Amino acid sequence: MKKILLLSFTISLIFASCKNKKMKKDIKAPVAEKKATRLEKHGDVREDNYFWMRLSDEQKKAKVKDEQTQKVYDYLNAENTYYDEMTSETKEFQEKLFEEMKGRIKEDDESVPYKQDGYFYITRYEIGGQYPIHTRKKSTLEANEEIIFNVNNEAKGYDYFQLGGLNISPDNNMVAFATDTVSRRQYFIRIKNLETGKIYKDIIENTTGSSVWANDNKTIYYTKKDPVTLRSSKIYKHALGSDAKLDELVFEETDETFSAFVTKSKSKKYIIIGSYSTVSSEYQVLEADNPDGEFRIIQPRERDLEYDIAHYGDHFYIKTNKDGATNFKLMKTPVTKTGKENWVDVIPHREDTLLEDISIFKDYLVLEERNEGLNKIRIKRWDESVDYYLPFEEETYSAGVYANPDFDTDIIRYSYNSMTTPSSVIDFNMKDKSKEIKKEQAVLGGKFDKNNYLSERIWVPARDGKKVALSIVYRKDTKLDKNTPILQYAYGSYGYTVNDGFSTTRLSLLDRGFVFALAHIRGSQYLGREWYEDGKMLNKKNTFNDFIDCSKYLIDNNYTSAKHLYAMGGSAGGLLMGAIINMNPELYNGIIAAVPFVDVISTMLDDSIPLTTGEYDEWGNPNNKEYYDYIKSYSPYDQVKARDYPNILITTGLHDSQVQYWEPAKWVAKLRELKTDNNTLFLHTNMEAGHGGASGRFDALKETAEEYTFFLALENKLEK
């Protein structure tokens, strides 16, 4: 215990006032050059002093840097140097925290095998390996292992490496695969012969990474991205062994608010092209046995009509919001008559239940639903003789169905975990209701006992009368009072719901007396589709208000105090962080905003930036004055003012394709210019990575250790 207290004291020193530390006196925060750029829209003028930080991809790739590029790199490197110098005394603790988190992981782990077309596929790791090894075994698990890819070998020589999109040909002899070595999610697709180990010369550039084989084992469909906006907009057909420059354009999505993708039905009968926007979708199909045929549209796109398709027998099954089905319903239509006038209900719409997904088997239909915020898995026989839900007993948990590629089976595979229960992979027999736990997540180190932790769900009254769920987890011996440190987390956009799941890394906070609180704010679909609709567009401020109301509840009800409350969010969750510290900075002692989307108005006005046009129905199109005014009123960069702010750590990646690095860089520069406090403000830029951070599993742990150290150091400063 004395060693721990001494270590805590050491790491807390870094955040002490500079006037009391001679060695920190001369470390000055970088000051970015101010160069005013006048931005005018709808008669409103904004003056952006840091607009010059924006670089094109060509500038970043150039070996010889021009003056502007050099200035940007110098600034980002200066911020990194400042961060490293100011946190130098925490490096030893960060390393120990990393080893602690790494020590809970079974390094030589492997996935539960799944069977597809006569082969068992397994992903495994070796001790010390950063990356997975993809393998398979023919017919039985006792067969010799075939290594498809050892990604540790493929990644040698790269600072960042991502291998994905593995797609086995129908005859099992070839695999299409995708690689990204920049972290900008622009993948190369290549093809490997699994019998000879030869990699074909075919190289397809600038794709999403996914691909689909036709049933002839020589035709591949894939999606190309726009080289500037990165919108996935073109579907091509490639013949094995041919020059990719000769590939045939099969479909082009010309509506800039839509993106496109290509996939294959589980039945393997159809190649499917999907087009989607925030509020509309459209599908086309082609028999996979006829790759030279013409695609036919299922139902032409209509604004506010969303649908997904799955094939079974003589019908397409359609999850849709047709007929005002806000929470979606399931319909079906004959494969020969696919227009919406032919759709008939299979599972009707329910006001209290969100239909999230379906899985089709020969004898069963499996529905993934959400009711009162909780995952439900419903199993029905096609002959309607069986209809039941899998039983889950904890107050809050996460459960989800796997891909389950086998069609003719009674076994469904699903996962289950909660904030206190490690993840399990379970095979459930839908016929006799027996189950087999195929794998339980191992938590090594000999210190974890789930009985030492508690989780609960609190319903927080929001300012407009709605109830917001707040899931919390903590050690049983942690006393909840005004001195308790709490880390509050949320996302709150795109209808994405963060489930109440287990985390081995989070134990490093819980075991040091922190409470973790996950706020299920509007903008997610935790309480159904309306919960999402009420947190986007002209309702976006509900997202921020919900988070703040949860924070105030924790403080007012003596779970913690403003001196011990921390917040964290990434990407659109980073926007959330920017908004709440502009609205109520006094509520938080520290925040981390990871790859934050903070210059909302400028980004949404620039349709050359990746993702902009496809998100008009998420945030609103600021070319319309009503949306311009509303977005500007919460855009974190535009709302920075001369005031006190909490301690802040902001992270970004130079090659981020989702949120361009200059947004957080500009935000930090403006905060440094205007904030009136002496609190910590750090910008840490990963010069080799993008939106998802480091690619290796251990490098990702090191990033988590840095983040946790930021919070732990702040908390220990207050304790001394």
- Annotated catalytic residues are 571, 656, 691
Contact 669, 636 (CB under 8 A): no
Contact 620, 631 (CB under 8 A): yes
Q: Specify burial of residue 383 (Cβ count, 10 A radius: 0-12, 13-18, 19+).
A: exposed
Name 718's Cβ contacts closer than 8 Å, sequence gap at least 6. 563, 564, 589
Q: What is the Cα–Cα distance from 81 to 709, expressed in whole angstroms?
A: 18
First to last CA, the chain: 16
332 strand-pairing partners: 317, 344
Q: What is the Cα–Cα distance from 104 to 125, expressed in whole angstroms?
A: 15
191 strand-pairing partners: 176
Can you list the pairs that 299-306 forms with residues at least 24 positions away whose Cβ atoms lie under 8 Å? 299/338, 299/339, 299/340, 301/258, 301/275, 303/279, 304/279, 304/280, 305/280, 305/281, 305/340, 306/279, 306/280, 306/281
Q: What angle do CA 278, 279, 281 make, to 5 degrees?
A: 95
Q: What is the Cα–Cα distance from 649 to 589, expressed in whole angstroms?
A: 12
Q: What angle do CA 238, 268, 247 make, to 5 degrees?
A: 10
The three-class DSSP label of residue 103 is coil
DSSP state of 690: B
Q: What is the Cα–Cα distance from 17 to 678, expressed in whole angstroms?
A: 8
Contact 93, 709 (CB under 8 A): yes
Q: What is the Cα–Cα distance from 320 to 330, expressed in whole angstroms?
A: 6
237 strand-pairing partners: 221, 248
DSSP state of 32: P
Residue with tokens 């500079």: 18
DSSP of 517-556: EEEE-BTB-TT-HHHHHTTSGGGTHHHHHHHHHHHHHHHH
Name 707's Cβ contacts closer than 8 Å, sequence gap at least 6. 568, 592, 594, 649, 651
Q: Count the neighbouring beta carbons within 10 Å of the beta carbon of residue 463.
A: 11
DSSP of 300-355: ---TT--EEEEEETTEEEEEE-GGG-TT-EEEEEETT--SGGG-EEEE--BTTEEE
Q: What angle do CA 425, 521, 562 make, to 5 degrees?
A: 110
